[in-house]
Amino acid sequence: MIIPTHLLPSGPPKGFPDPFTPLFSLLSKRATAHPIHTIVAIALLASATYVALLEVSLFETRSDDGLGWGFGGNDWTKTALNGAATVQLSQKGDWEEVNGLRQSEAASRLSLVTLSFPPSQQHQAIAVPSNVSAKSAAKPLPVTSSNSLAFSVPYEETTSFLSQVGVISTGKEIDADGLLNEQQIFWVANEAGGKNISDNSLSALGLVGWVQNSWESFIGLIKNAESLDIAIMAFGYLSMHSTFVSLFLSMRRLGSNFWLATTVLFSSGFAFFFACFTTHRLGVPINLILLSEGLPFLVVIVGFEKPIILTKAVLEASAAQRRKAIQNQDRNKGTSIQIAVSEAVQQVGFSIVRDFVIEIAILALGAASSIQGGFRRFCFLALWILVFDCILLFTFYTAILSVKLEINRIKRHVALRKALEDDGVSRRVAESVARENEWPKVIDKDGKLISDDELSKDGTTNIFGRKVKDSNIKAFKVLTVTGFLFVNILNTVILPFRDHSATSVVTPITPSQLNALSIAKRGLESIAQSATPGTIVEVLHPVIFRPVVHDDSSLPFPTTQQNSNLFTEDAVGSRVMQSLLKSLEDPILSKWVFVILAMSIVLNGYLFNAARWSVKDTHVGEVEVPAPVKAMLPPAAPKVSIPVPEIISTEAPIEKPTGDRSDVNVLVNILKSDPKELSDTEVLRLCQVGKLPIYALEKQLKDTSRAVAIRRRVVAGTKSTITNSQYLAESKLPQLHYDYDRVLGACCENVIGYLPLPVGVAGPLVIDGESYWIPMATTEGVLVASTHRGCKSINSGGGVTTVITGDGMTRGPCVSFASLARAGAAKLWLDSEEGQKIMKDAFNSTSRFARLQTIKCALAGTYLYIRFKTTTGDAMGMNMISKGVEHALSVMANDAGFDDMEIISVSGNYCTDKKPAAINWIEGRGKSVVAEAIIPKDTVENTLKITVDALIELNISKNFIGSAMAGSVGGFNAHAANIVAAVFLATGQDPAQVVESANCITVMRKVNGNLQISVSMPSIEVGTIGGGTILEPQGAMLDLLGVRGPHPTTPGTNAQQLARIVAGAVLAGELSLCSALAAGHLVRSHMQHNRSAAPTRSSTPAVGNGSVNGGAVMPAGLTMTRAN
């Protein structure tokens, strides 16, 4: 808004309590606890308000300032005042129609009220209403029609007069025998109980008629308006629409292209409906002209900054909660969407509500001012708009934000699972990893975390971070559908009970009879005879009356006791029910109901089917791995036992096979029925006799930890290798406390344990303005320390600047043809636009992330080598691209006319993968990165202990000339592979791809006396999902770098950032090692860091005491270390 509230403090003054945040935080918590219910309830309430606004004829096309505020009274008396024609008596005695005159400018002000009755055969003469107060100043006037009465009333008493003539009694009806009938005939003003033919409301004219009437009124206003007024209004509408555009652009920057901005407009629209209804009920007349003139400026002044601020705060709070959950900072504390929204409200709630209060206070001053015209009324309406907008912001819109966060969670979950599946990870492992990395975790009513096993046991689903039973979801759907059907059935059933007599006796009155000025012509002439010049007369539209016959006991008027029958026309319950049923017949509301239904279906697809995206949808043949069970190991190897909680099964007990357990066949039957009944010794026996292969232990035992323990004993007891493997079962190779479920089907087979590797960090290193600790897993001393020194030197010059020059993984299959002509034709077809398009469409259809970039072909005799280069998102992508290549070659053979093509191998070494090759050095593979840094001269001399010129000379002689003399391909560096391998091991990358990922050329130049150093690495092959990245230790290192998993908005960004980090680390390592070599510090530094004393001649190793295999002695230093 224009008021500079941003200069005010964001919180209450010190020592003063916050009066706003606790209340609205409570509202937000209630709304976000049940967001779907909140959204549906508020939408239905807004729809009912819309119907009520139509029934009270709020949106009329003409207005008058009327009688000021006019709180209270009958609603029809106020609507009767709208649309009055204003005339003034001139000096010549003529009546002239005027507009915009204030009451103070007139000598006197009167109202001319005309009462119109349909022709009546029983009542030829219509008398003055008998129930009109004697104190009334109304004077009967002559009229043009015999079926009309006209009265001159002082303007300030018009409402009082109209309220008294709303119902006119004619006494008892006399039947044909001359006897009094128990029924009475009343003249009822149609404004009091029905629709006036002169009503210009939407409900009366219909949508088309209302639009036509509004357009005519708009054209009339334009013709009579001044040019300055038109320019101001045009500017207001342009500014309003620019505010809408700004809202959508702001929400797009926050990650929502359409829906959040749309729901903000819905929330404001609902607030407008509620405010209009409240204003009308309080007696303040509102019309379309007033709204059309004021709303644009209200929208521009207030704007949509508050929902934007709240949205940003909620998204930031949710991201912070997710980061804490990923980094295990709140391991024992449950986090949920509700907590994130609550934290955001507590953070920005005070400032938002404070702005609302300031704006409402200013509008309240405007409403209480003495400014004439529509200013006071619009300020009063705008005040209520802001009140309801504030309430809906912390209820309806926070519920929308909860749905948005839940949809984001589901999208992240599905995207990660599908990306892992595309990379070759099994569905079970992919689902497990996706669940482990999703946020929010499921919590119970006490805020405690609920495991996935508990969810699967109870048949529940994670929705909005809460444990929700499937039965609750079904019940909600059933109740919604049942309620909708009940309303329609009730509408049909009560049709026979509706009273249609009231409308059946109305005699139509043609519009020509309702011309106000023509009917009031004689009345104006009569007033002119006694009035003074300058007198103003408000000529009201005729009030239409209709006859109604009622018993004394069921008069439908406030002064008479009403019947309590549910289906009575004017019973309170009936009016509510009829209003509800009638709303379903409204053309606009019916379309709104269909819109809500469509949105509900979409939302159901995202939320209520989330359970179907879980691990329940498993592929046939995959192993279902339950929680680890207790392993029964013999006393000889007590360290292999795996103590876990006992699993209590709720299923029917399985009948145990009976028989001699020394019989192998009996053990096989037990293994098939219930492997938990077998001891580890019995399982070991099955492996030894060949009944249970060691590669199938996990599948058969359904316990990965137990399978690892037994496999160790099987390997240790293998006769052919017992000389070397006999101590494996009791060796110091760890096996406990590891999640083997993630390893199965993803990382390794025939697992016998895990190998701890020291992990160090170098840095922090500034890369493109961000600081990173570089994790390095290595057993080489001084490597981390040297890289750390390089990071410090680089940071002194401002850090590393990196550029991604290419991103595309490759696969090069080999195909063969019977003749060279056919092989040449295939190459020409692949190089053509048609071939490229067909192959690209086929390849891209296999994955959401893989997108084919180029195809490069090479011909060797009848062999054709095709190098596919494609993006793979955040995965390294070898499995993903292999699947695409297979499908593309199949399409080429079957649909492109190359059915004689023979696929020799999906990988024909033209990729080239895990081998040094010039094509990777020239064309690039994976991520191609160039990193550069400027090292100040002082840093080179004081920290690195060398000169710039000496470094440049060493780089030329060693990295350039030396590598060229050796015939190196991509090896024009000092030790890039050292850093690449260490980072790869720490972050779960494929160690074999260090071969091509370490391709690097290091360039050094002298610039302004400083050292400019850069590394160009054209083939860094990394990924942040799939492979070893799904393991928790490696995933933790990716978390340290902030690149774990797929990027939430731009696939591939995380993998590219990891490649930049690798290049930056290589740059630091190159700088430090080259400096050490140039200064002659290399050997000395290794001795200082890796030796406790100066090296001496080693003594002859002592022989071992034991001997095997007929007395052959093994040196003690070569024997496997034992645990004891």
Report pLDDT digits (tens) over 690-729.
Answer: 889 998 998 889 889 999 999 999 999 888 888 888 888 8
In this structure, the strands spanning 167-174 and 148-154 are unpaired
Beta bridge partners of 971: 1000
Instruction: Assess contact for 764 and 773: CB atoms under 8 A.
Output: yes
Of 570, 622, 780, 886, which residue is the catalytic one?
780
What predicted TM-score, i.e. pTM, was given to this entire model? 0.61
Q: Which residues of the chain have pLDDT under 50?
A: 1-3, 5-7, 59-74, 100-104, 121-125, 131-138, 143-144, 174, 178-180, 192-199, 329-334, 456, 499-514, 552-577, 580-581, 610-656, 1093-1124
Please give the Cα distance from 482 to 476 (Å, whole number).
10
Q: What is the DSSP letter of 167?
A: E
Residues in the chain: 1124
In this structure, the strands spanning 759-767 and 770-777 are antiparallel
Class of domain 813-905: alpha beta
The domain made up of 5-57+209-407 has a fold known as Multidrug efflux transporter AcrB transmembrane fold (1.20.1640)
Convert 1064-1075 to b/e letters by CB count within 10 Å (16 or more is b): bbbbbbbbbbbb
Q: Using the Cα atoms of residue 13, residue 16, residue 19 and residue 24 in order, give the sign of their dihedral.
A: positive
| ∠ CA 574-579-582, rounded to 5° | 115
Which two three-digit tokens encode residue 86? 């204003």
Task: Using the structure block, give the residue that is written with the tokens 């009308």.
Answer: 280
Q: What is the pLDDT of residue 473?
A: 55
Q: Which of 629, 812, 869, 641 is nearest to 735 (CA)?
A: 641
> Going along 821-925, which residue ranges are E strands?
851-860, 863-871, 902-905
Based on the residue annotation, tell me whether 780 is a catalytic residue of this protein.
yes
Of 422, 703, 990, 996, which residue is the catalytic one?
990
Residues with Cβ within 8 Å of residue 882, at least 6 apart in sequence: 811, 906, 907
Please give the Cα distance from 285 to 298 (Å, whole number).
18
Task: Using the structure block, give the residue that is written with the tokens 């062999």.
Answer: 863
Which two three-digit tokens encode residue 868? 């596919």
Beta bridge partners of 115: 149, 543
Q: Which of 546, 697, 720 is nearest to 625 (CA)?
A: 697
* Mean pLDDT, rounded, of the chain: 74
Which two three-digit tokens encode residue 123? 């009542």
CATH number of the domain located at residue range(s) 759-808+921-1090 in this protein: 3.90.770.10
Q: Which of 925, 930, 899 is nearest to 910 (CA)?
A: 925
Of 788, 914, 1047, 1081, which residue is the catalytic one?
914
Residues with Cβ within 8 Å of residue 502, at least 6 apart in sequence: 193, 194, 546, 548, 569
The number of beta carbons lying within 10 Å of the beta carbon of residue 40 is 16
Residues with Cβ within 8 Å of residue 342, at least 6 apart in sequence: 25, 28, 29, 32
Based on the residue annotation, tell me whether 1086 is a catalytic residue of this protein.
yes
Q: What are phi and psi of 549, to 5 degrees?
A: -105, 125
Q: What is the pLDDT of residue 81?
A: 66
Report CA-CA distances (Å) from 863 to 529, 823, 895, 918. Answer: 114, 7, 20, 20
Q: Where are the domains of the chain?
A: 5-57+209-407, 638-743, 759-808+921-1090, 813-905
The number of beta carbons lying within 10 Å of the beta carbon of residue 261 is 24
Instruction: Assess contact for 675 and 696: CB atoms under 8 A.
Output: no
Q: Which of 154, 114, 156 is nearest to 137 (CA)?
A: 154
Based on the residue annotation, tell me whether 1039 is a catalytic residue of this protein.
no
Please give the Cα distance from 16 to 24 (Å, whole number).
18
What would the DSSP string read from start to end of 375-416?
HHHHHHHHHHHHHHHHHHHTTHHHHHHHHHHHHHHHHHHHHH
Please give the Cα distance from 956 to 958 (Å, whole number).
6
Q: What is the pLDDT of residue 197?
A: 38
Beta bridge partners of 1113: 1107
| ∠ CA 299-305-308, rounded to 5° | 125
Of 29, 34, 856, 1086, which residue is the catalytic one?
1086
What would the DSSP string read from start to end of 574-589?
HHHHHHHHHHHT-HHH
The number of beta carbons lying within 10 Å of the beta carbon of residue 413 is 20
Q: What is the DSSP letter of 1025?
A: B
Convert 322-341 to b/e letters by CB count within 10 Å (16 or more is b): beebbeeeeeeebbbbbbbb
Q: What is the pLDDT of residue 1009?
A: 93
Q: What is the pLDDT of residue 814?
A: 96
